[in-house]
Amino acid sequence: MDRVYLVLPSEEHEAAYINMMNEWINVGGRIYPGVIKRREMDYITWLNYIKSCRNKDTCPSGYVSSDTYFLINSDEKILGAISIRHYLNDDLLSTGGHIGYGIRPAERKKGYAKMMLKMALEKCKEIGIKRVLVTCDKDNIASARTILANGGILENEVIEEDGNIVQRYWINVPNLNL
């Protein structure tokens, strides 16, 4: 398997980012983590937005500070993305968690999510998050397996207003053998 890395998004990733997002849009389905959707922003505006999210003082109102990374291979292809929220507000504690992640459709079922989550847990350890909440929809078996493979312990399930069931897993970071 190709060596993969977590990198902060930069201007040099624009073409690879657009390629990944076009693939995701063509396949359909939800894009994770939600922060990677530019909505109506151009790429540079989006980059500035996610940079502002890294600091509590510049993070947009109503959001928590977070770091967003691309998972890339040696060819600079973006395989997925992951967002690490530095702390939890009530919504994140209920169903969002510290970490949101997604692998682009063509790269799924290759073990990248497991590797990406492990790398993100290392980042959590570096910034002092000792206990990480990671959630997934109950019907997302692949994500549940990824979380379990990284030491996740199922605490409970939460039923959202629309009837969707979210599973809440905790991972104790200081105990990781990283």
List pLDDT tens digits, range 69-122: 999 999 999 999 999 999 999 999 999 999 999 999 999 999 999 999 999 999
Q: State the helix-helix crossing angle for 43-52 and 14-27, rounded to 10 degrees.
A: 100
Quote the percentage of the chain above a pLDDT of 70. 97
Regarding pTM above 0.85, the answer is: yes
Helix, strand, or coil (residue 34): helix
Give the Cα separation of 50 and 46 in Å (integer).
6
For tokens 């790429």, what's the residue? 43
Question: Within 10 Å of residue 136's Cβ, how many Cβ atoms?
Answer: 23
Give the Cα separation of 144 and 158 in Å (integer).
15
- Give the pair of three-digit tokens for residue 137: 């929809």
Contacts of 22 (CB under 8 A, 6+ apart): none
Distances (CA, A) of 129 to 4, 41, 92, 97, 165: 23, 31, 15, 12, 26
Of 79, 40, 37, 6, the closest CA to residue 50 belongs to 37
Structural domains for the chain: 4-173 (3.40.630.30)
Is 1's pLDDT higher than 70? Answer: no
